[in-house]
Amino acid sequence: MEDLLKCCTLCPRNCRVNRYETVGACGANDKVKVAHYSLHEWEEPVISGEHGSGTIFFSNCNLKCIFCQNNEISELGYGKEISISKLQELYDRLEKMGAHNINLVTPTHYVPQIIESLKNKKLNIPVVYNTSSYENVDTIKLLDGIIDIYLADLKYYDSKLGEKYSHCKNYFEYATKAIEEMFKQVKEFKIENDLMKKGLIVRVLILPGHIDDAKNIIKYLYETYGDKIFISIMNQYTPMKCFEYENLNRKVSEEEYNEVVNYACDLGITNAFIQEGDTASISFIPKFNCDSI
């Protein structure tokens, strides 16, 4: 696994740097960096359950969305470098706290270290891989048999939007191939006592002014996977600063969101999560604190 960091091609950036000597395009070196861990109540119901999802927020990110609500950790790199054994300790802490799962948030650039931490680790709860899906398929293949639940974004259908808002090329091509591999591994979902034990949830974050792109994503997902996955239709886009693109300086309107949800219903989708109330609020963004790590 160490060799994967010596010439890093974990994500489609393929920057090929030696992360023992410098940082990759993601901003990460060879050390795991964690910004926060907690019981998180605001994931999908089958993930959060009654007690919360045991989230571990990793620092840095390979995608660089200009509208990221976690910019403090994804772009600015807030967090604390920890050892593999400390990462395993966080798993244990969260399980003892009553977490329904271990939820690895923005994990792509730490896949080798995550595999090392889990390969001989006995957990009694599922492991969730919470990703932007801007992944190389070979990276996802490394996780076969290790990850129980994939919680994956599908951010853009039109890859020109990916270039515009996330500075990446061919997002849809890379993301859909990665998601195909995720589904191949976990297959049709398994839910027990209202909690997901295995499966794939794909999140569609609606961007203001781009409901047609969201519709195209939803249509693609349903035509490809039918009722074997869950689609999470999200209205929580939160403008965190003033953007050069005027549409990004507002929330998604109720009319926009309802139009997308109604479109999904018209397609016949039943395995879906929708959001109600003021989820587009900074109060839903964790207060990152690595002091207790």
- Tallying the residues shown for the chain, one arrives at 293
**What pLDDT digit, counting tens, does each position of 116-159 carry?**
999 989 999 999 999 999 999 999 999 999 999 999 999 999 99
In eight-state DSSP terms, residue 207 is P
**Residue 35, pLDDT score:** 97
Cβ contact 121:88 at 8 Å: yes
Please report which confidence band the pLDDT of residue 277 belongs to, taking 50, 70 and 90 as the band edges.
low
The pLDDT of 13-37, averaged and rounded, is 97
Please report which confidence band the pLDDT of residue 279 belongs to, taking 50, 70 and 90 as the band edges.
low
- The chain-wide mean pLDDT, for the chain, equals 95
**Residue 172 predicted with pLDDT over 80:** yes
Rounded Cα distance between 290 and 80, Å, is: 6
**Residue 280 predicted with pLDDT over 90:** no
Q: Alpha helix locations (H) across 228-286? A: 254-267
**Residue 241, pLDDT score:** 86
The residues, ordered by sequence, that sit 6+ positions from 119 with a Cβ below 8 Å of its Cβ are: 146
Q: Which domains does the chain have, with CATH numbers?
A: 29-284 (3.20.20.70)
**Residue 283, pLDDT score:** 54
**Residue 5 predicted with pLDDT over 90:** yes
How far is CA 111 from each of CA 8, 58, 108, rounded to the nearest angstrom?
11, 11, 6
The pLDDT of 258-279, averaged and rounded, is 92
The residues, ordered by sequence, that sit 6+ positions from 220 with a Cβ below 8 Å of its Cβ are: 154, 157, 176
Q: Alpha helix locations (H) across 50-150? A: 71-74, 84-96, 111-118, 137-141
Percent of the chain with pLDDT over 70: 97
Please report which confidence band the pLDDT of residue 281 belongs to, taking 50, 70 and 90 as the band edges.
low
Quick one: tokens of 100?
């329904």
Please report which confidence band the pLDDT of residue 285 belongs to, taking 50, 70 and 90 as the band edges.
confident
**Residue 286, pLDDT score:** 77
In eight-state DSSP terms, residue 252 is P
How far is CA 62 from each of CA 36, 73, 85, 136, rounded to the nearest angstrom?
18, 12, 24, 12
The pLDDT of 229-247, averaged and rounded, is 93
